[in-house]
Structure 1
Amino acid sequence: MIFEKIHTVPTSDELTNKAFKRAARAMSGKTIEGRDSRLRANESMVLTAANIFTDNLANIVRRFPSFEQLPTFYYELTDVLVGIEKLKMSLASVDWASRKIHDVARSYVGKIRDADLPEPVRKEAFGRIASIVKSINKDLLFLNEARNTLRKLPDVHDEPTIVIAGYPNVGKSSFVSKVTGATPEIATYPFTTKGVAIGHFIRNDIRYQVMDTPGLLDRPMAERNNIERQAITAIQFLDAVVMFIIDPSESCGYEIEDQKRLLAEIRENFDLPLLVVANKADRPEFQKMDEVELNISTITGEGMEEVMEKLLEMIEEKRLQSLEEASSDEPDEELTL
């Protein structure tokens, strides 16, 4: 997972205590006699503390991923949840503090060497450094909050994807289990009350993922908050096709007209290939619908293979279309005489 390597981001107080204690410990037990040894001891304390600060701050910046290299899906979700620009600004502040502390420490090492009494100069250096770290505490707090949020994002692979939409209880999780042959992994989502169900299957040596997003694609837009709506738009950037499942038997608890309205919203908000499937064909109250392309039963397996063939065909058509669009965007080679 992209964000798993981000460690807990310490506060300014935690960093300061760690650095200054390490500096004091470095000198403990050592015999310090004469001016030269006192100079060296105070120099060492400043450099030890500064190295702890600069290393820890630099590691915070390094462990966050390069946002320009994030897959578009994760870039959009990161922007929705914590704000890309705000993240960049806080990381820039931490990077500045790391470099500033390095410069200040080097400057004070020179001052210590020229001082008659090195201890007051070392204390002044500690004060300057502590002040720099304290000035970025709000950035450290924000980065830790962002880290905790981003680590909850689902592990969505960069591979062909089938996104399942439709009201609750229409058979979406049953479909995921049937086609993947196993209970799907449930990944937490920072802006839904339920986890995202993700399963995988392999056809012709190609791995596909099937994703159900309860709390996002199972109720009308009017019932969603702004963050949920923006998260829905992020799904557009997956290499995906959408399958909308309708329950014509209405045993799911939602009337057909309500399900049709949700289907219309999905069509309006998703610029992705869409397949409409009716589930529960095994039930006596099942009825055929004009909007539906294929009928299935996740209980008996009826129509499942036809649906899978159609979805894989749609994925391949989307892949070929993307290749054509990419090649048409490339500039023509200039002819040379």
Structure 2
Amino acid sequence: MMIFEKIRTVPTSDELINKAFKRSARAMAGKTIDSRESRFRANESMLLTAANILTDNLANIVRRFPSFESLPRFYYELTDILVGVEKLKMSLASVDWASRKIHEVARSYVGKIRASEVPEPVRKEAFGRLASIIKSISKDLLFLNEARNILRKLPDVQDESTIVVAGYPNVGKSSFVSKITGASPEVAPYPFTTKGVTIGHFTRDGVRYQVMDTPGLLDRPMSERNDIERQAITAIRYLDAVVMFIIDPSESCGYAIEEQKRLLAEIRENFKLPILVVANKADRPEFQELDEAEFNISTVTGEGITEVMDRLLEMIEEKRLSSPSEEPDTEPAI
């Protein structure tokens, strides 16, 4: 399950208040109030019911958001880019405070009800206090729901060895992902691009790997990107990944070889990840050999695919052995 999948819709302050007070009134519906003692007990019960509904709902909101300290670095970076980790922490802290404050206020007013001559005004005053606390976190609740809607769109990228496929559009990236995963890969929504990230998986010698094509991120020059897209690219460096850059020497993709080489140079400059350059469409008559390409392949005929996969897995192993716990210590220059 994706990390943010279990976050449910965050209710507004009005929705929480209405839910709590209606449930409180319904809890007492039909009950006989035939003595002073039952009257006081009924008002106390109404207050505790409303308070419990509010504290439980607020506590659930906080609990369903993941611990940011335990998030994989890839997701931490994306969360910070999209909604701001510190802002999220502050809003969740406010909701947690409100939950605890409501519990405290309810206990205080139970004592006041018991000490009063007439319980109803005290209970109504308590309801006013509870509503005021909830209203004070209205903006936090709205922000958390907005954040939830954004974060649920992040791709389900597992914490496992990854091949990131790069290159201009129409060079054969999606065909490559489909070819090596043996099935139609999952296309997940992605908040940085108009298209979905393509994610596939395959297993070799009992080890599972994932392959990721990120249309809109690694398929055009850096100069054409906005700030959020540039920041999103930096998050990829936290994956246990190698990059495969596909060039189409036939130029049938619609981009000249020199344009594709410039994009390759930018990715080399901006990524501190191992990069394998592969020339696709070797089956086409206009295909030409390139010095930059280490392998020639055809995603149509399957030529060279096995050799490329063997080399990519070697690169993943080499990367693991050379830096088993190393994290990049410099920001990519993008």
Letter in 2 for 1:308: M
The 5 Å alignment of 1:313-328 reads 313-323=314-324
What's the CA shift for 1:324? Answer: 7.6
2:229 matches 1:205 = no
2:292 matches 1:298 = no
In the aligned structure 1, how far is the partner of 2:114 from the partner of 2:307? Answer: 81
2:122 matches 1:128 = no
Letter in 2 for 1:31: T
Mind listing any 5+ residue stretches in structure 1 that lack a counterpart?
327-337
Taking a change above 3 Å as real, the CA distance of residues 324 and 84 of structure 1, as seen in their structure-2 partners, is closer
In the aligned structure 2, how far is the partner of 1:264 from the partner of 1:291? Answer: 11
DSSP 3-state at the match of 2:251: coil
Aligned CA-pair RMSD:
1.0
The 5 Å alignment of 1:273-292 reads 273-292=274-293
Which residue does the alignment assign to 1:150? 151
Which residue does the alignment assign to 2:79? 78
The 5 Å alignment of 1:47-58 reads 47-58=48-59
In the aligned structure 1, how far is the partner of 2:44 from the partner of 2:163? Answer: 61
Which residue does the alignment assign to 1:115? 116
In the aligned structure 2, how far is the partner of 1:19 from the partner of 1:224? Answer: 47
TM-score, normalised to structure 1's length? 0.95
Taking a change above 3 Å as real, the CA distance of residues 69 and 222 of structure 1, as seen in their structure-2 partners, is same
In the aligned structure 2, how far is the partner of 1:301 from the partner of 1:38? Answer: 81
In the aligned structure 1, how far is the partner of 2:6 from the partner of 2:180? Answer: 32
In the aligned structure 1, how far is the partner of 2:38 from the partner of 2:222? Answer: 71
Q: Which moved more, 1:209-218 or 1:281-290?
A: 281-290
DSSP 3-state at the match of 2:6: coil
The 5 Å alignment of 1:28-43 reads 28-43=29-44
What's the CA shift for 1:325? Answer: 5.4
- Percent identity over paired residues: 83
DSSP 3-state at the match of 1:210: strand
How big is each residue's C-alpha offset from its partner over 1:215-266, in whole Å with a ceiling of 9 and x where there is no partner?
1000111111111111110000011000000011110000111111111111
In the aligned structure 2, how far is the partner of 1:174 from the partner of 1:53? Answer: 51
The 5 Å alignment of 1:195-234 reads 195-234=196-235
What's the CA shift for 1:294? Answer: 1.1
What's the CA shift for 1:30? Answer: 1.0
In the aligned structure 1, how far is the partner of 2:212 from the partner of 2:206? Answer: 20
How big is each residue's C-alpha offset from its partner over 1:154-204, in whole Å with a ceiling of 9 and x where there is no partner?
111111110000000000011111111111111110111001111111111
In the aligned structure 1, how far is the partner of 2:324 from the partner of 2:246? Answer: 29
Q: Which moved more, 1:34-43 or 1:215-224?
A: 34-43
In the aligned structure 1, how far is the partner of 2:189 from the partner of 2:37? Answer: 59
Q: How many residues align?
A: 326
Which residue does the alignment assign to 1:178? 179
DSSP 3-state at the match of 2:254: coil
In the aligned structure 2, how far is the partner of 1:251 from the partner of 1:57? Answer: 56
In the aligned structure 2, how far is the partner of 1:141 from the partner of 1:293? Answer: 51
